[in-house]
Chains A and B, each alone.
Chain A
């Protein structure tokens, strides 16, 4: 009998009822820590508003919004996903803006020999056997890295050494655990593990790495969604973003 009560309880665990106004923010996974803080700060200033975050890779977030997921705000890690959202008329016109920028850096394990590596050309040397990079197909950071290597005419020489990661975090972990000799990640990722990795140099990218935010067209709380986007782009949001290594756009 007791076992059946247990089974019954498992089905019944209640979810908290939604109270007040709720804002669903779909944000790129690389924004997780910073946006959580921005969310609390925004809630403190807007009584009765609850900010609910949905963090995943920009491409997943875009697919969800395209199929009608009830998101109010979309913050992407690259312009590509936002461009596609705009082309498919998924955004409220004139709400899109860039709110942060980042840098692509080459990192090496913190314990690596202190030989100065200052430019991409060094990656063709034999001592770099494996280099971690996000998969250019699906990871924006991977697209930036491929682009940088191509423009330096190093793609052919370096491509055989590349280990493709599913997201930036995975590339970071490969370097932190010394599975690879170097990796391409964002400056903000490198800053999150200062004891395990060190930045060798900034990799030059053709276009600046900027994060766009916009209000979703089907949003049911457009006014609050717009207020949140403003808040992120304004001084209040920028202060928090700066603490996590993001720069102004």
Chain B
């Protein structure tokens, strides 16, 4: 029984961790750009970046399949040049989960950057910081908490991701079968005991990880503020 949970659990953690990482990098970049630069059509870009939250995951998964599949230009290029096959692989599951989780980091990061006092940034400039050090020493540490909160939501969302993942990565035990998909399969096979067991494990692990993460964020916040 433990083994039945362990393989999908480790896979889910790996996929959720990578997806959160990718979503965080992209979300922080996009959030910063939209918070700092006012350009024509900013609201439209903002709305479009939130679309993955609106779309049913299966539909999103279908679009990803269209874009990343062997038959598409991008999918073909990735396969022939980088040897990267995304469909039916855990990397495809990472992409699916990252896209679904992205808006959560992006929205949190944009709000966090907008809340940073611009006077502090100006003060940094008078101290001779260039734009990069300004970002790493002033802006990011001040926005860090909001971004971390968004990243945690993204991680939870990535752990529970089902529809888009099933579409892109399939339901292959040991390779792409995440917790959510293992639960789906257990229910479909009429194995309610296994399904309930997997649900409990997934819930426990997610709660423990998020509690741990918020503890780290609290400490990290203080440490980043001090210098």
Contacts and interface: CB of A to CB of B under 8 A. Distances in A.
A93 B5 CA distance: 40
A30 B166 CA distance: 16
A92 to B, nearest CB: 17
Given A167-B188, A192-B190, A63 B65 contact: yes
A177 to B, nearest CB: 11
Interface centre among B58, B87, B170, B190 (most CB of A within 10 A): B170
Given A67-B65, A68-B87, A69-B88, A55 B171 contact: yes
Contacts of B170: 26, 54, 56, 64, 69
B145 interface: no
A10 B175 contact: no
A64 to B, nearest CB: 7
Contacts of A44: none
B154 to A, nearest CB: 14
A234 interface: no
Contacts, number: 91
A7 B14 CA distance: 10
Contacts of A3: 212, 216
Contact of A10 (B13, B90, B166): B13
B71 A16 contact: no
B54 interface: no
Contacts of A53: 171-173
A10 B75 contact: no
A226 B165 CA distance: 28
Given A11-B14, A60-B167, A63-B62, A169 B187 contact: yes
Interface string B195-218: 000000000000000001000100
A24 interface: yes
Counting chain B residues whose Cβ lies within 8 A of the other chain, the interface size class is: 35 or more
Interface string A29-53: 1101100000000000000000011
A12 B16 CA distance: 12
Nearest to A189: B190
Interface in B1-50: 10-11, 13-14, 16-18, 21
B17 A70 contact: no
A10 B17 contact: yes
A193 B188 CA distance: 12
A77 B225 CA distance: 60
A189 B70 CA distance: 35
B121 interface: no
| B contact patch SS | helix
B214 to A, nearest CB: 12
B90 A15 contact: yes
A73 B216 CA distance: 47
Given A16-B174, A32-B188, 20 more contacts: A3-B212, A10-B14, A11-B21, A13-B11, A15-B90, A52-B172, A52-B173, A52-B175, A54-B88, A56-B166, A56-B170, A60-B58, A63-B167, A64-B167, A67-B65, A67-B69, A71-B88, A167-B188, A169-B190, A192-B190
5 contacts: A13-B10, A32-B189, A56-B166, A67-B66, A69-B87
Q: Which of B18, B166, B190 has the most CB of A within 10 A?
A: B190
B62 A54 contact: no
A32 B185 contact: yes
B188 A169 contact: yes
Given A32-B188, A54-B172, A67-B70, A11 B18 contact: yes
Contacts of A11: 14, 17-18, 21
B79 to A, nearest CB: 9
Contacts of A7: 17
